[in-house]
Structure 1
């Protein structure tokens, strides 16, 4: 070392380092900054120039170049001051010569087979290495990411390709069979990457088209419907016999091509929980808990053409009131009931009929302790007034569908009843709003809170918007308005507490009670009510079974007319003998509930002291009778099959929920 070279001291450990060291050799601390003229350093001796200016590509006899980072270090440094790699000199060169022998079983050959070591052998030039590595990669058919040849699945999206979708082993750099470089096929070395990419993309696109052609799109559309909050495809999948516990496969996830939403193994329930679709989750869990096989053959599904005629006939019965009646109303008042001929079918056919017609889950909830319906043996057995919960669509139109089922036996598929309801509330706001606000203010004062005028106006506008939005759930006001549209009372038997799926009570349900057309003239309305059931955000039509056959010769000798059967008795009390609440009464009307019920309905008292309302069953309208008869013939044919000398299994027919209209 010449006298001009001056060591520098580390600020942390005071170790004196050579001028060429950029870091402390002892503690690896940084070299202190010294203001120097960088141009004067160029005239220093070769040793300082080569060490301090390590970017110079010309080596010096007093320096050695690191094989790892190519940094020029001072000859006295045993390790690289830049990366810490050891100095390999002629004295210890023999320690590194032996591992350089590349054989089939050498350590270096074994290390080349590791997945994290993708570098080519040193014998290939950089251009050859780049070409071989590009040829060896395979392109993902989902995200087009180029993966290394040894990757079993895509490193970007996780897609696992089939063996035929990956390039052949001869085009790869290292063959997994013998751990050596395969250059037997010399043509693969000169194939351009674009040709291979084009070949792989064509093959991938062909396979993807094949998967799409053979896919179950009812199932895939249901998955998309869950994440988008659209209940129509989900309902269509379930009603056509789809399994709610079905899981997504890898090919189906590839077809959907939304890795952020769909994962392999997910069910509709997983998707509903992930995207917080509570309404759809309730329907799916109900299906899984065993509400039936998923096949529903309601009368409107068996005879869809007649059902469409019934809806058109119902639309023709709607009139638009004027002056004192600014809302719309109907002019016919049918009441739907199950035909008595059901009892004439064999037991196995009856069981299938009720399985495909009723909502077993809603029936069980309404009859579970404490029971809401069918809790009196006097009414259900002696008086033949047992109520059955008809299966209903799970969309937000369930209230309107249940009202149409309880009257005409069909669904409100074309939203005719909803549009009539929205128009009635809009045109009759001057008479509906004061009574609604007074009723809600009384309830709010009972809960010790109040609202400002602007808040009441906003709530009323939201009620109008709900009525005019198909697919959205409705409130108590809409049931009250429907009683005016139908010009008849509506009795809702509902659970008192809304419970979670674990059975925990979430809140108090206010839907149960009697809804009367209080804003109409009594002489303008009929006294026969309809019955609905409410269970956890869902309405169902509650209908009885006719006590006698339609055959007039089998009718009992009573004073009833030829077009009238027998009365069905609907309880106006709960099982604790408390009168059901009458909704939307004013303060002056409260305390006279029983008298008001007798004014609007034919009320009597049973021998057991139960206050009941009479529901008179009249002769069915012609179209409804034709639809019911065609529906019965379907099960009569099944009874003939089972009653033949050589009985055959009952054929299963799936009727999807979209068979009810021409549009769906």
Structure 2
């Protein structure tokens, strides 16, 4: 007989199996018990093997004659074989499912309920359920398949199943629906209900197998129950009617949509203090978060743990409440470092958020070829004149907290860059103060918003406008930048020329810097910011880069005047802002309010109201050399007389009695934004409250001196 004739055919899939197989290799069906092989499949020309093998050694004598083979798979238990025979066939796809499955593993069709007279498929006699062992490969087959469904979302256009992290369809680029979380939650509930049905079915099967005692079904703790999604934490503990829960869910959804990445990091840090997770606090610190930030009512509502979180709590409060001594030491160190600096934006976080939203609402994009973004409001930040009414000790404390003393010293003493003219700083009350700024890579954007609105660019609103303006008006800015760089290289005797590919590579690098939060910016970005503000920007900065030893490394090239040359002059304001540049860091330079000048000082009739504060910003350096005007075209470049004429066209310029060419920065408390005025008043009230204590202590000291 040929080797093919020795095999036995499966009655389900007709696959021909080797005689040593007790199951079908293809469909794993049990081999029919009536199959008998009468010829030795390994019999060769010699009869040695047939003589060595004794057929009488098999049990029974009616068992199939199978040659012992070391490569054949081991025999399984009879109970497992009987369980395999009890599989039920799906009425939709005919897939053989395990008896415990209540749905088809292949097509997820519901299992049909057997009639009382119907007996399960069996190869043996009787329909009595038998005990069986669990196959580890098939036990969680249905469970895993159902869990896989919750990791995808179906596109409503092309019905393609995308992964949960995909924000739009991979096939047709259709955006993911906004209610995908609710869909995923529904799918999870459906899957959990199916799994619970399987657990109950398996429990009923185990009870009917011989144990008549009533027991409660076992509860399995799944990963979805143990690991709760942090962003859905507000769903826990909700009590009320269905309508109330829906309204509450919508409110919580709105709160969550308004939150930024820093807000979620702060909430994670709060939970980290409660649970002893120091990594969450470090992540919040590394993102530049404020350690002294307080929990708001909405944030406490999201956390949904009244026993742990209260409105107004900071990370320090939570560390004290839960006795986290190691965290408390770290947090107190951070608070002590931040307590040395206090600007108005830190004291009034709610007003600061409203100002940020106001800035975002005032940003618009110009229609036409030059589609640059611009601000619709003219706001200039100045220190309030009420500071002079505070006691000298309180004034000193205020200036220590709001100013950057190191920057002030470097710009005033180490190199006379600001306040070098006594006429401007003293008689005309135009002394400039360097506000303290973050040392992150966004210091340029922060200083611009500090000089105008008094806040940081925390939400990267200004950076986004800068990036979009550079990309949408790339041709306009690229031409100015290329002409300016070419002129600069020739004026310093470098005499190099770049290929167009090299110019494009350098320009692509400048574009990439604008799109990266925290990336340091260059002169081109200041030029674009002048167009977004629609007003000139004057940078007073050091001229040379220096090493830590004080050695000169090169020119900084930041100092000078940046005009919005690509706008029409009628579309721009002539009141500039001032920035300071030191050691790779930008700071906002602001003045203090005064009582109004009337017709004072600059040798001309100013015709200004008493409420208007005028700050005279010099357009020359301490050596009376005119500041450079950046990014001029070939037609605009020329001698100092031509540049001075250009400055007079774009700025309100005048010459003081001392012969200093200055630009007038005008600001008015009445015309300033009310939110900025309210923020400054609340910040100033912080120092007004400590005034009585200081006066009282001074009075006590005076009484002690008199007694002595």
Among candidates 629, 641, 659, match of residue 681 of structure 2 = 629
Give 1:200-239 correspondences, 5 Å limit.
Answer: 217=278, 221=282, 232=288
Among candidates 603, 617, 620, match of residue 667 of structure 2 = 617
Among candidates 303, 306, 314, match of residue 359 of structure 2 = 314
Deviation of residue 401 (structure 1)?
0.4
Deviation of residue 214 (structure 1)?
11
Among candidates 595, 609, 615, match of residue 561 of structure 1 = 609
**Distance across 1 between alignment mates of 2:683 and 2:506:** 43
Q: Work out whether residues 436 and 584 of structure 1, in 8 Å CA contact, stay in contact via their aligned partners in 2.
A: yes
Deviation of residue 368 (structure 1)?
2.2
1:334 paired to 2:379: yes
Q: Work out whether residues 231 and 395 of structure 1, in 8 Å CA contact, stay in contact via their aligned partners in 2.
A: no
**Distance across 2 between alignment mates of 1:534 and 1:215:** 42
Partner of 2:646: 596
Among candidates 532, 543, 550, match of residue 579 of structure 2 = 532
Partner of 1:377: 422
Partner of 1:423: 468
1:352–1:646 Cα change, 3 Å: closer
Among candidates 590, 604, 608, match of residue 658 of structure 2 = 608
Give 1:321-470 correspondences, 5 Å limit.
Answer: 321-445=366-490, 446-470=493-517
Q: Work out whether residues 483 and 517 of structure 1, in 8 Å CA contact, stay in contact via their aligned partners in 2.
A: yes
Partner of 2:524: 477
Deviation of residue 452 (structure 1)?
1.2
1:439–1:549 Cα change, 3 Å: closer
**Distance across 2 between alignment mates of 1:510 and 1:558:** 34
**Distance across 1 between alignment mates of 2:565 and 2:504:** 23
1:433–1:648 Cα change, 3 Å: farther
Aligned residues: 383
Give 1:17-32 correspondences, 5 Å limit.
Answer: none
**Distance across 1 between alignment mates of 2:464 and 2:700:** 47
**Distance across 1 between alignment mates of 2:473 and 2:424:** 38
Give 1:50-449 correspondences, 5 Å limit.
Answer: 217=278, 221=282, 232=288, 295-445=340-490, 446-449=493-496
Q: Secondary structure at the match of 2:465?
A: helix
**Distance across 1 between alignment mates of 2:279 and 2:394:** 29
Please list every run of 5 or more consecutive structure 1 residues that lacks an aligned counterpart in the other structure.
1-211, 243-250, 256-266, 268-286, 551-556, 650-664
Deviation of residue 404 (structure 1)?
0.3
**Distance across 2 between alignment mates of 1:430 and 1:373:** 35
RMSD: 3.4
1:309–1:214 Cα change, 3 Å: closer
Q: Work out whether residues 596 and 613 of structure 2, in 8 Å CA contact, stay in contact via their aligned partners in 1.
A: no
Deviation of residue 559 (structure 1)?
3.8
**Distance across 2 between alignment mates of 1:514 and 1:525:** 15
Q: Secondary structure at the match of 2:506?
A: helix
Please list every run of 5 or more consecutive structure 2 residues that lacks an aligned counterpart in the other structure.
1-272, 293-313, 317-324, 598-604, 702-708
Partner of 1:640: 692
1:324–1:376 Cα change, 3 Å: same
Deviation of residue 213 (structure 1)?
8.8
Q: Work out whether residues 596 and 612 of structure 2, in 8 Å CA contact, stay in contact via their aligned partners in 1.
A: no
**Distance across 2 between alignment mates of 1:646 and 1:441:** 63
Q: Secondary structure at the match of 1:418?
A: helix
Q: Work out whether residues 292 and 355 of structure 1, in 8 Å CA contact, stay in contact via their aligned partners in 2.
A: no
Higher RCO, 1 vs 2 (CA within 8 Å, ≥6 residues apart): 1
Q: Work out whether residues 596 and 609 of structure 2, in 8 Å CA contact, stay in contact via their aligned partners in 1.
A: no
Deviation of residue 299 (structure 1)?
0.3
Deviations 1:481-509 (A, max 9, x none): 00000000000000001222222222211
Q: Secondary structure at the match of 1:322?
A: coil
Q: Secondary structure at the match of 2:696?
A: coil
Deviations 1:184-225 (A, max 9, x none): xxxxxxxxxxxxxxxxxxxxxxxxxxxx99999599839x98
Deviation of residue 567 (structure 1)?
1.4
Q: Secondary structure at the match of 2:690?
A: helix
TM-score normalised over the length of structure 2: 0.50
Deviation of residue 369 (structure 1)?
3.5
Q: Secondary structure at the match of 2:664?
A: strand
**Distance across 2 between alignment mates of 1:241 and 1:590:** 56
Q: Work out whether residues 379 and 386 of structure 1, in 8 Å CA contact, stay in contact via their aligned partners in 2.
A: yes
1:422–1:558 Cα change, 3 Å: closer
Deviation of residue 586 (structure 1)?
1.4
**Distance across 1 between alignment mates of 2:596 and 2:658:** 28
Q: Work out whether residues 596 and 614 of structure 2, in 8 Å CA contact, stay in contact via their aligned partners in 1.
A: no
Deviation of residue 643 (structure 1)?
2.0
**Distance across 1 between alignment mates of 2:637 and 2:280:** 52
1:493 paired to 2:554: no
Q: Work out whether residues 292 and 360 of structure 1, in 8 Å CA contact, stay in contact via their aligned partners in 2.
A: no
Q: Secondary structure at the match of 1:491?
A: strand
**Distance across 2 between alignment mates of 1:589 and 1:604:** 21
Partner of 2:65: none
Deviation of residue 361 (structure 1)?
0.8
**Distance across 2 between alignment mates of 1:368 and 1:504:** 18
Partner of 1:522: 569
**Distance across 1 between alignment mates of 2:428 and 2:279:** 45
1:218–1:628 Cα change, 3 Å: farther
Q: Secondary structure at the match of 2:414?
A: coil
Deviation of residue 447 (structure 1)?
1.7
Partner of 2:39: none
Partner of 1:91: none
